[in-house]
Amino acid sequence: MKRVRLVDVAEVAGVSTKTVSNVVHDYPHVAPELRLRVQAAIDKLGYRPNLTARRLVTGRTGMIALAIPEIDHPYFSELSRQIAEEAARRNYRVIIEQTLGKLDAEHAVLEDREAGLVDGIIFHPVSIGALSIAKLHHDTPLVLLGEGAMPATSDHVMIDNVAAAAEAVHFLLRQGRRRIAFLGVVEDDVTFSTDKRLLGYQQGLIEAGLDPDPALVLSVKDFSPEASGEAVRAALERGVSIDGIVCRDDKFAAGALRACAAAGISVPDGIAVLGWDDTAIGKYTTPSLTSVAPDKSALASTALELLTERIDGFRGVGRHRIVPHGLTIRQSTPSVSSGLAVPQGKPAVPSA
Amino acid sequence: MKRVRLVDVAEVAGVSTKTVSNVVHDYPHVAPELRLRVQAAIDKLGYRPNLTARRLVTGRTGMIALAIPEIDHPYFSELSRQIAEEAARRNYRVIIEQTLGKLDAEHAVLEDREAGLVDGIIFHPVSIGALSIAKLHHDTPLVLLGEGAMPATSDHVMIDNVAAAAEAVHFLLRQGRRRIAFLGVVEDDVTFSTDKRLLGYQQGLIEAGLDPDPALVLSVKDFSPEASGEAVRAALERGVSIDGIVCRDDKFAAGALRACAAAGISVPDGIAVLGWDDTAIGKYTTPSLTSVAPDKSALASTALELLTERIDGFRGVGRHRIVPHGLTIRQSTPSVSSGLAVPQGKPAVPSA
DNA sequence: GCCTCAAGATACAGCGCTGTAAACTCGTAT
DNA sequence: ATACGAGTTTACAGCGCTGTATCTTGAGGC
């Protein structure tokens, strides 16, 4: 069965193809009677426009690429959902490109690999540097996500990692914690997320008049929860005194919870643990996880706003947007009736 | 900056557009010297073929749609990853369509909404019935996933849910458990997954000469872990004796773990808990979760195999494929040195 | 030296649609 | 009665590419 085309409809309705096209697009200046006749023909034949053909002539594909390291990492799958929904709201389809953080895959994202396929790209880079991005990026509208490389030429959306980390520290300090560790610095880590969060952690301590203790910055072998748990175990074994841990992500926090349990230390009574990204992981750990919560919905809508502006012809220099973050409070930090959970007037994201 | 087209390259190289096209496609009968000249022009101009135009003429889009209920549900994000990778291997791109299990969204998936956009659809239906699928499905190649509606006319890939549930029961029985509950039947559930798993659960008990006790089939209000936990709590409060729980999914199992902990019951010593889908959730719960493990990789490759066969012209009736499953054994069931974990000679999927 | 034939290169149509500009149809103003 | 213009409808080109048919060329056979 061959696909029904515009001409087929036109023939049945006895009009020109353009009139059918006009009806399809709800062009206002079509006589009501004709519109009805054409619509009847469309329904009768079950006509559906061929989007590829439309795209060729309009130059718009109605699709955007979302390039992320891993589809099935909770943070990215949750973010993908927000982006997919926001995109759907704006009549865009999303095609997902998984880079696995590999350099060549990240290069491919920019090298017009999707030539003529997508109207724009939302890209969370990991390995690639700012210079390479600037150099490889052609003219497909691009919005960058995350704390990675950010050339001044491209649009960028992120949360204020430094402030968020400092707030997390303040949150624990307000509950009387004084020996707050940072988990963790990853060996051979090429990302900037950890740097920023570590910086904010130190800044938070200094703001409170405390002296950051290098022994409290825990180093982790790789990005697995096993490695982070091991780092906590080792620190405790070394006799490092700890009563709170700010983690660079929820996976690390999950590892920390395991290590504490194994060491017979109660969370949050003995050690308070604070995760990062507010992923679903935090709902399933025991105890459940308090976590820095990037406003993923704002992230998604801001990214799409910037991207669609570019698609619609905006040609200015790179814009950098900070979206809000909060703190989702669960059981891994002590509950307090006194102090507010979220400093600086930002609303806490409700726990799920 | 205008995009470089085939004609631009042809002009620079001093050849016809078709010759450039032939070079791009590695058509063998091109003189080496010419090939070099054309390639030089391509490189010099930075030419990238316009895929939309190519698609219009070839009729192939090189894209498939993956329609799933929720991108950020661990099972689906993990499955998506497998499918995306398998698709990439076969030079297809994946565009993800989120239905949220809603009927109208599921209808839209089939109604050639992607008309001319994708070469085929991989669809995990939830709400839509077999009849509607058969009726709405046009001629875009389609492969169905999951235990939902399955019209005989469409290809279908799934695991043997009944057998897997029976095996899960046998696994617990072999460890001496006798009061094994099923968690849970969801009120107003329109999916078939639960039915099959419940059936297998009962079958497993009967095969072992046990009489299924209706009191052990726990009913749950909705699909949240909170609701499943509540169901377990209520059962324990009613005084139902339980020493093992087979859950319809990992989320329910997570809820069950919480309820046991709250009731002061040790897992796995007091109650063994067995999840379903082997999602990442099971890595983060305490204790970690033993779970029925569909071979997601096989699921993905089988689905793509069937789909590409259809795309390549296969026109036969619907094929139904069963892919293997295993059991990922973690801490929520007792470790046994004696009995094999996985009955019927199927290999256990290694724990992550 | 001429014919044949295969390899190499090209011209051209057309995939299905939309934008542009031109054409046509009236009711109203002149 | 004629011109005008707002409102409708249409003809046609062309988006960038590839498939088909066709043409050109040069090597090899007689």
Asked if the Cβ of residue B62 lies within 7 A of any atom of strand D, the reply is no
- B152 pLDDT more than 50: yes
At residue A137, the pLDDT reads 87
| Contact (CB, 8 A) for B136 and B107 | yes
Neighbours of A21 (CB within 10 A): 16
Distance of A165 CA from C14 C1′ (whole Å): 61
At residue B137, the pLDDT reads 87
- B260 pLDDT more than 80: yes
Measured at the CA of B89, the angle between CA B87 and CA B92, to 5 degrees, comes to 40
The average pLDDT across B20-46 equals: 91
The average pLDDT across B291-305 equals: 98
CA atoms within 13 A on the CB side of B267: 28
Of A283-297, B107-121, B126-140, highest mean pLDDT: A283-297
| Contact (CB, 8 A) for B126 and B99 | yes
Query: Same CATH topology for B63-158+296-324 and B161-294?
Result: yes
Tokens of A180: 């707050």
At residue A148, the pLDDT reads 82
Please report, as a single letter, which amino acid is at residue A207.
E
At residue B155, the pLDDT reads 96
Of the pLDDT bands very low, low, confident and very high (cuts 50, 70, 90), residue B348 is: very low
Which residue minimizes Cα–C1' distance to D13?
Answer: A57
Architecture of domain B63-158+296-324: 3-Layer(aba) Sandwich (3.40)
Nucleotide whose C1' lies closest to the alpha carbon of residue A5: C16
Topology at the third CATH level for domain A6-49 = 434 Repressor (Amino-terminal Domain) (1.10.260)
Mutate which of B24, B71, B89, B273 to test chain A, going by most A C-beta atoms within 10 A? B71
At residue A350, the pLDDT reads 41
Mutate which of A1, A61, A71, A100 to test chain B, going by most B C-beta atoms within 10 A? A71
Measure the CA–CA gap between A95 and B158, rounded to whole angstroms.
25
Query: What is the homologous superfamily of the domain A161-293 according to CATH?
Result: Response regulator (3.40.50.2300)
Mean model confidence pLDDT for chain B: 91
Would you give the DSSP letter of residue A265?
-
Instruction: Indicate yes or no: CB of B280 within 8 angstroms of CB of A95.
Output: no
Strand pairing category for A63-68 and B155-159 = unpaired
At residue B113, the pLDDT reads 64
CATH code: domain A63-159+296-324 is 3.40.50.2300
Of the pLDDT bands very low, low, confident and very high (cuts 50, 70, 90), residue B336 is: low
How many Å lie between the alpha carbon of B281 and the closest alpha carbon of chain A?
7
Q: Which residue of chain B has the CA closest to A57?
A: B53
Least-confidence region, from A141-155, A224-238, B233-247, B320-334: A141-155
At residue A320, the pLDDT reads 95
> A286: closest CA among A257, A247, A255?
A257
Distance of B33 CA from D17 C1′ (whole Å): 24
Extents of the domains making up chain B: 6-49, 63-158+296-324, 161-294
Parts of chain A with a pLDDT under 50? 337-352
- Count of all residues that appear for chain B in the document: 352
Measure the CA–CA gap between A170 and A342, rounded to whole angstroms.
9
Give the nearest partner residue to B1 out of A96, A139, A254, using CB atoms.
Answer: A139
CATH class of B161-294: alpha beta
Of the pLDDT bands very low, low, confident and very high (cuts 50, 70, 90), residue B178 is: very high
